Amino acid sequence: MVTKTFLLCSLLAIFFVFASTSSAHGRNLTVELIHRDSPHSPLYNPHHTVSDRLNAAFLRSISRSRRFSTKTDLQSGLISNGGEYFMSISIGTPPSKVLAIADTGSDLTWIQCKPCQQCYKQNSPLFDKNKSSTYKTASCDSKPCQALSEHEEGCDASRDICKYRYSYGDESFTKGEVATETISIDSPSGSPVSFPGTAFGCGYNNGGTFEETGYGIIGLGGGPLSLVSQIGSSIGKKFSYCLSHTSSTTNGTSVINLGTNSIPSKPSNDSATLTTPLVVKDPNTYYFLNLEAITVGKTKLPYTGGGYSLNAKSKKTTGNIIIDSGTTLTLLESGFYDDFGAAVEKSVTGAKRVSDPQGVLTHCYKSGDKAIGLPEITMHFTNADVKLSPINAFVKLSEDMVCMSIIPTTEVAIYGNLIQMDFLVGYDLESKTVSFQHIDCSANL
């Protein structure tokens, strides 16, 4: 029987509050996570029901996935209102607090800055670069400027200042100058951890559907401009996260870890660490994996979704799914999904298939007096067979109805955050691998 413990599992987006320790091999940082729909989030609406929040998260998943359909959308970052997590950092000297969407699917960090030609309403003061002694604009031939794609980069030749411009899929936009600054992360144990000379975008022309609670976006993708990449030498080019099913209103919490100790080298509590190659391809912002098959119960189905590449002439067919913490649902290639859904339906017991009242989820099941029996699902990545719990693959919409948190897509496949919960998911950017270790995140933090 599916329990209530995962009703709030998709209601976790995220403030990052770093605690740091030092070692001979560099810093190790642990980050506490709070979801955007948690009572601790500035976006929390007490009038929304659990179903309201779930359905809103599902719709954000669909909107966010559409940015993967074209080269322009891919390289422009994310749908402006589609992030699931928040991050709290400080920028400048003296430091100014910043709250922005944290996203593993984008690179350049940008915030709203004074003086602003056009800015969306923001609950907190804009960043004033003139009050920071460490603010420095990037030149047109600088490495940060060259790391921008052709349609993102511009130049103020008269002042030799690099410009950036992003246009998002929902017609939101941001424009400004590229600069370097000292980014600091608060530590509950003492002094903040600082990273001088970090490149970011200082936006002075921004508009669209950006939320009032956020300053902008903090990029945690795989490209050279992301925060993770820029501080890579300090954290051993390794990070991991563990998303808990336990509500943030209890003692349970979720975390992200950065540093050499963030990925377990040995199995813990008899739970094996499964490792699969991280497929590097264009664009390098996204974390591509290769999904070979899915097993439903005892039925193994070879995955027929093709490899994904922006370059039509590319012969690369590996890397057929993107692992993304900012997308709630998991999306699989529609041709494969027909057989997959049929196998799931055949394996469910004690319930009949019904339609999702919101029309978003494709496989929903309603029970009578019996408990719903759900199949075990295993995701077969290259060299890593990841067994899912029912709470990963299914979400409870009411007392007597569950729906699969996996839907079809005609675009690129996405491995979303519901399916990753209660796994320690590790990224080793040096060895180019992603690892999975099944643990109770709330009990191991």
Per-residue pLDDT tens digits for 306-316: 655 444 444 44
Point out the domain boundary residue: 256, 277, 311.
Answer: 256
Structure confidence at residue 241 as a pLDDT band (50, 70, 90): confident
Residue 107 sits in the same domain as residue 211: yes
Q: Is 103 a catalytic residue?
A: yes
Cβ atoms of 220 and 29 closer than 8 Å:
no
Q: Are residues 194 and 273 in the same domain?
A: no
With cut-offs at 50, 70 and 90, classify the pLDDT of residue 363. Answer: very high
Q: Domain count of the chain?
A: 2
Q: Name the average pLDDT for the chain.
A: 79
pLDDT digits (tens, 9 = 90+) for 250-291: 444 677 787 888 887 655 444 689 999 999 888 888 999 999
Domain boundary (256, 282, 314) is at: 256
User: 281 with 374, same domain?
Assistant: yes
Average pLDDT over residues 335-354: 94
User: What predicted TM-score, i.e. pTM, was given to this entire model?
Assistant: 0.82
From 37, 324, 422, 428, the catalytic residue: 324
Model confidence at 77, pLDDT cuts 50, 70, 90, reads: very low
Judgement on whether residues 245 and 275 belong to the same structural domain of the protein:
no
Do 243 and 211 fall into the same domain?
yes
Same domain, 80 and 223: yes
Domain match, 199 and 280 both: no
Residue 155: per-residue pLDDT: 94
Q: What are phi and psi of 51, to 5 degrees?
A: -65, -40
The pLDDT score that the predictor gives to residue 9 is 37
Q: Is the pLDDT of residue 39 over 90?
A: no
Same domain, 218 and 367: no
| pLDDT value, residue 37 | 61
Q: What type of residue sits at position 158? A: S
Beta bridge partners of 128: 114
DSSP for 411-443? S-EEE-SGGGTTEEEEEETTTTEEEEEE--GGG
How far apart CA 180 and CA 183 sit, in angstroms, is 9
Mean pLDDT value across residues 356-367:
86
Q: What is the per-residue pLDDT for 65?
A: 57
Residue by residue, DSSP assigns 50-75 as HHHHHHHHHHHHHHHHGGGSSHHHHH
Residues 348 and 241 in one domain: no
Are residue 244 and residue 275 in the same domain, yes or no?
no
Could you give the percent of the chain with pLDDT greater than 70? 72
Question: Where residue 243 sits, what CATH number does that domain have?
Answer: 2.40.70.10
Are residues 118 and 67 both part of a single domain? yes
Domain that holds residue 418: 263-443
Average pLDDT of the segment spanning 292-313:
78
- What's the confidence (pLDDT) of residue 404? 93
- The pLDDT score that the predictor gives to residue 349 is 92
196-216 pLDDT tens trace: 999 999 999 988 767 666 678
Domain boundary among 235, 256, 277: 256
324 is a catalytic site residue:
yes
| pLDDT for the residue 337 | 94
Res 256: pLDDT:
76
User: Residue 440 has what pLDDT?
Assistant: 86
Q: In this predicted structure, which of 37-46, 177-186, 214-223, 410-419 has the lowest mean pLDDT?
A: 37-46
Whether 425 shows a pLDDT value over 70: the answer reads yes
Q: What is the pLDDT of residue 433?
A: 95
pLDDT value at residue 317: 56
- Flag whether pLDDT at 127 surpasses 50: yes
Q: Which of 37, 103, 186, 422 is catalytic?
A: 103
**Domain identity same for 220 and 279:** no
Chain-centroid distance, C-alpha 62: 14
**Percentage, residues of the chain above pLDDT 90:** 41
